[in-house]
Amino acid sequence: MRTLNTSQFQDADKYASYLKTPAGRLRSELAWENVRFFLPPNRSKRRALDVGGGTGFASARLARMGYEVVLLDGSKEMLRIARQQAEASRVAARISFCHADAGQLPELFDAESFDIVVCHNLLEYAENPFATVDGIAHVLRRDGVLSLLVRNRAGEVLKEAIKSRNCKIATANLTAETVVDSLYGESVRVFAPAEVRDLLAGPGLEVVAELGVRVFFDYLDLENLADAYSEIFKLESALGVRSEFAAIARYLQVIARHSCASSSKETGP
Which residue, 211, 194, 248, 201, is CA-closest to 36? Answer: 211
- What are the residue boundaries of the structural domains of the chain, listed by start? 9-257
Residue 265 has pLDDT above 90, yes or no: no
Rg of the chain taking only CA atoms, in angstroms: 18
**187 backbone dihedrals φ, ψ, rounded to 5°:** -75, 130
Residue 134 has pLDDT above 60, yes or no: yes
What's the rounded Cα separation, in Å, for the pair 74 and 104? 11
Give me the helices (H) in the chain, please. 9-18, 22-36, 57-64, 76-88, 105-108, 129-139, 153-158, 167-173, 193-201, 229-240, 243-246
What's the rounded Cα separation, in Å, for the pair 14 and 6? 9
C-alpha dist (Å) from residue 57 to 11, 148, 156 = 17, 15, 24
Name which CATH class applies to 9-257: alpha beta
DSSP letters for 75-86: -HHHHHHHHHHH
Residue 124: the pLDDT is 95
Residue 49: the pLDDT is 98
Model pLDDT for residues 230-250, shown as the tens digit of each residue: 999 999 999 999 999 999 999
Q: Collapse the DSSP code of 156 into the 3-class scheme (helix H, G, I; strand E, B; otherwise coil) and give the result.
A: helix
Which residue, 108, 164, 161, 166, is CA-closest to 139? Answer: 108
Helical (H) or strand (E) element with 33 = helix 22-36
Residue 32: the pLDDT is 97
Question: Which is more confident, 227 or 259?
Answer: 227
Between β-strands 251-257 and 140-151, what pairing exists: parallel, antiparallel or unpaired?
antiparallel
**137 backbone dihedrals φ, ψ, rounded to 5°:** -60, -35
